[in-house]
Structure 1
């Protein structure tokens, strides 16, 4: 794969500056594609900024979701960008390996809340509908706000992966900042 299906947009203007602020001064290839539509880029920036930095979900749960969605949707960009973040959030090498397998939630490497969140992520990503038993597993560990944040996190990163895969955005050389 040489490059994305759409050329990157110019990096100037107020929307580019908004994205730079969230990213710590640098734009990713994903950002430069989004800049073709400033209103979409601004909405994306606000949503993903909230998902990455303003939820009450723990960092390990957030990164479990992001990486599992990346696996399920074949989004290499997403995996490469978030694997270092997941490691800093406390995920072990053995857990990262298990995330790439079918039925990852059933493996014995997870805490009960991690297993419940993975089962929710799998159901929501694969089938959209989340069975009552899977939802009950999440409810046993998360409060109302966290359940809402989890559902939006899964959907938000499904959106990210679908965008990246559809436009064939190649993986970066490493982590993409915030």
Structure 2
């Protein structure tokens, strides 16, 4: 990353992909695998066909260049004010880290101070996927949300295991 003309340049990169989540109706509740496939299709279509992601990233670079970090952060905050949930990801280290010769067992990432009621941070650390949730106090019950997410993961896992061919492999 630190070499000149590296494939993955060093530093922060911002882009936005605003997507509507498909509604979980009776069909989705009976077949959660279809719900995941439908959500993935929407994300893939928007990511591939939307030129707005690239324009937003370039615009943020220009704003940062001319107005500084505060101008870029104001634009990001104003954009996030119009959403109810945010998901962010960070590429973490492949190998385990150590601080003062003590191995770091787990590493989580989440954006704090965002105007959303729910923030999801995803990081891959030492070849393990880590997901962290940040919820608004007195608005979302964290225990109830956790139990619903665990139940949803179980349903999706069981549906995926029962499926002969998984379209998610593409």
Mark yes or no: TM-score above 0.5: no
Which protein is richer in strand relative to its size? 2
Structure scoring higher RCO (CA < 8 A, sep ≥ 6) equals 1
* Structure whose CA Rg is larger: 2
Which protein is richer in helix relative to its size? 1
TM-score by length of 1: 0.25
